[in-house]
Amino acid sequence: MAMGNAHPDLPVSIEFFPPNTPVGSEKLKTVVQELSVLKPEFFSVTYGAGGSTREKTLATVRDIAAAGFEAAPHLSCVGSTREGIAEILRTYRAQGIRRLVALRGDLPSGTAVAGEFRYAAELIRFIRETQGPDWLIEVAAYPEYHPEQRYARRDLQHFADKVRAGANSAITQFFFNPDAYFHFVDEVRAMGVDVPIVPGVMPFHNFSRVAQFAARDGIEIPRWVALKMEGFMDDAASIRAFGLDVVTKLCERLIAGGAPGIHFYALNQSALTLEIGRRLGFGTTKVD
């Protein structure tokens, strides 16, 4: 598929999870360097349920910062205390980190204690009240609504609460239906929310794995995409080529509709994100 219009000025960000092994950490350093050609605004790093990957998240953020790139750690409040959050923020501040992705987060399996914060809005309010304005806070958005939320209107209100608590911008859960994103943006704009809402995009690294994520989180994979993917059986080359075309076209539709950037869920791999970014012209030099 030929590259479409170049988008060198559109912000790109890329998400990783903290590796579990030293080998994984070394591999991720290589992935960061490979993806740096897309000139990402920042790399975000996830945070396990109940803070279970806290030290690994910090180590990954340090590695990204040491390589000269901006890192944005996820920070979840479920199971956390105010003092615990304050300690984490002091650590990040000492590392020169000023961007966060603030989330409610998931409880670890078998845990029933929510901690001192119930919602991400409370975490954001705490950060603003105790730390001031010098953090750039990203929050999550759910174009197809949060899987635990029965009522769409209530989910929209939770999102608006996070922004009013002090969030600077938002990153969406991944999706494959661009109309869901545009509808969500229209809905929250009508509520007076004006922060940038960056669509999150998941390349088809592995169709069955992505389908599992989608089923878990209530994300629709278009039937025609799923049937075609399943029809390829074990034809890895066809799955890769088709997946690249689907996600590239999704990105083009989002950009044409006014999306303020693209956030890639890279799953600690570079190849597909790099290829989609190249097709979209990310990282190219603007020619006057």
Amino acid at 250: L
Residue 15 annotated in active site = yes
* Catalytic residue (one of 15, 70, 122, 138): 15
Which residues are part of the catalytic machinery?
A: 15
